[in-house]
Amino acid sequence: MARHAQAQVSVLVQYVVLRGDLVEKWPLGALVAQACHASTAALHLYREDPATQAYLEKLDSMHKVVLRVRHRLQAEVLYDVCIYTKCLIFVYIYIYIKVDT
């Protein structure tokens, strides 16, 4: 029986992280607008990176995953982990938005 080599498909994913505490305090439209700003800013900041260029080449198959952290501290920890591990996730988190608590 012949072995068939499996083609490895590399799927690029952009992760957008929302703060759960803002979900409860902000109007939905404002939160969606901030997520859009974050996504666009990440693409702009890393526009010269080959992975970003590859992501932008396939407009019909862009993958995004939206995640939620509970609060600002969790967002900061996630950011630090991504920086420390040099993960290939382009994370641009709006963690320094001033919110009245």
Q: Could you read off the pLDDT of 62-97 as tens digits, one per residue?
A: 898 888 889 888 888 887 887 777 665 544 444 444
Whether the pLDDT of residue 4 is over 80: the answer is no
Q: Which helix (H) or strand (E) holds 89?
A: none
Question: How many Cα atoms are found within 13 Å in the side-chain-facing hemisphere of 7?
Answer: 3
The total number of structural domains that make up the chain: 1
Read off the pTM: 0.71
Whether the pLDDT of residue 44 is over 70: the answer is yes
Confidence of residue 40 (pLDDT cuts 50, 70, 90): confident
Q: Where are the alpha helices (DSSP H) in the chain?
A: 20-25, 28-45, 50-57, 72-85
Domain with 76 in it: 13-85
In a domain, 100, yes or no: no
In a domain, 71, yes or no: yes
